Amino acid sequence: MECAPKAKRARTSSSVKDICDGSTTTIRTAHGQTGAVDVSIKVHQGSALSPFLFLFTMDVITEELVDGPLETILYAKEELQDNLQKWQKVLAGNGLRLNVKKTKFLSSEEGTESITDGYGEAIEKVQDFRYLGSDLAADGSVDQAVKSRINAA
């Protein structure tokens, strides 16, 4: 039986809280180990739990957005812009935001107009970029990829 997205979010939120609720720790010092101390500080950036909690949360948030594997996203301009705005809306509804300054797009078509996010900010168009260790170029050339592999050797 499938859960509705809201029910799944509630379950996820409850699970994350359960991970942290009632947590205790002890501190080892030169004079011995202390008794149990309640952990009342929330998870901060850099905490060992941060990556797990981020992935756990993003999995639930983005489930309704993803239509097939994320790495196969290939869009026409209008579809890309629509999907970008959907992502922003869903992320914002969950207290997150997409950093448009770090978001870029590559187009193999000449004269492609810029893409804007849901707030009117333009997404930077690039001629090449590295994705998952591979160099991609708008013109389809592999020159930069070959140079990168030679330099890495």
Same domain as 132, residue 79: yes
Give the separation between CA 85 and CA 93, rounded to whole angstroms: 12
Query: Same domain, yes or no, for 78 and 37?
Result: no
- Asked if residue 99 and residue 52 are part of one domain, the reply reads no
Considering the domain architecture, whether residues 54 and 80 belong to the same structural domain is answered as: no
pLDDT digits (tens, 9 = 90+) for 37-67: 887 666 667 777 778 777 877 777 777 776 6
pTM for the structure as a whole: 0.53
Q: How many CB atoms lie within 10 A of CB 136?
A: 18
Same domain, 85 and 153: yes
pLDDT in tens, 60-92: 777 777 665 555 555 566 777 788 888 888 888
